[in-house]
Amino acid sequence: MDTKEQHDLAEAVLEEARESLTPVKDLYRSAILSGNYEWPNHYTLFLDLIGYSELNYGQTLYDGPQLGAVELSEMAQAIECYTDRPSDTYELIDTLDRCP
């Protein structure tokens, strides 16, 4: 599967996800789909902060550069969304994680 197909699949998953998860969806689009950030990025830090990385990969992922105001703002909104809907957030991340 090429990159465009991967992005299209991830975008379809994001479109189907609940509206209440918009901050998490926006963070994923910004950090992963935009192509503007190298891995690890602020999305991987988000996964570390909510415990997803340790639970699903057995380790933390983020060991990257200091984040700027835009990235921190996106992450803060996604964390707030997670605190309101942790199960829904994990479900969305699991679905995105299965995208090739």
Task: Enter the pTM of the model.
Answer: 0.84
Asked if 77 and 26 count as a contact pair (C-beta separation under 8 A), the reply is yes
Asked if 93 and 52 count as a contact pair (C-beta separation under 8 A), the reply is yes
pLDDT for the residue numbered 15: 96
- The Cβ of residue 15 has, within 10 Å, a number of other Cβ atoms equal to 8
Residue with tokens 């992922």: 61
Domain ranges of the chain: 19-97
pLDDT for the residue numbered 66: 87
pLDDT for the residue numbered 100: 72
Per-residue pLDDT of the chain (100 residues; tens, 9 = 90+): 788 899 999 999 999 999 999 999 999 999 999 989 988 999 999 999 999 999 999 999 999 888 899 999 999 999 999 999 999 999 999 999 998 7
